[in-house]
Amino acid sequence: MEYPQFKSNLVFVDHRGTFAPLSLNSYDKEWLQSNVSFNPQIYTLRGLHFQVGEKSQAKLIKVITGSIVDFIVDIREDSPEYMILYSYDMKPGDELLVPRGFAHGFMTTSFNTIVQYLVDNDYSPESEGSIYWKEVDRLYDNLNSYVLFGELTDDIIIMSDKDYLTKNFKLNK
């Protein structure tokens, strides 16, 4: 059974800017697609997303600029870690391998955050699902600790309509 892998990588900085390699050889995967997410606002939340069955996806997450709190939940029903929340503070150069069978999401903790992620399977709308972030034990408290003033509310957080409306994953607790 595969588990998440976190690496803090070197970022090279000089007068031109930054350079951060992505460690493709460190993982035994064939990446099919590279996605880039630009998030101009702090407290932008994406996720928790997953695909099931043969279209399940592993993801390699890399922060290019800004910072995020990345969170994943093991949704493999046969796993001893089923429904366990993992959370990672990520800054430029950090990368996280998210295995198949995990729901994934992140929240930006700074403005103008760019996140790149590679996936090892094609996107399949028929196989996709998501978990509403407030349905995951301890996630609210975890994310709330990043709010500079007050509490994390629906007025502060920036989400897609699709993520707000999701209720299609039944939590088997």
Q: Is 49 a catalytic residue?
A: yes
Distances (CA, A) of 1 to 74, 104, 110, 159: 11, 17, 34, 32
> Of the listed 27, 49, 86, 146, which one is catalytic?
49
CB 102 within 8 A of CB 4: yes
Q: Is 146 a catalytic residue?
A: no
| DSSP states along the chain | ----EEEE---EEETTEEE----GGGSS----EEEEEEE-STTBEEEEEEE-GGG---EEEEEEES-EEEEEEE--TTSTTTT-EEEEEE-TTEEEEE-TTEEEEEEESSSSEEEEEEESS---TTTEEE--GGGSTTHHHHHHTT-SSS---TTT-B--HHHHH--------
> Of the listed 43, 88, 104, 117, which one is catalytic?
117
Catalytic residues, which ones?
49, 117
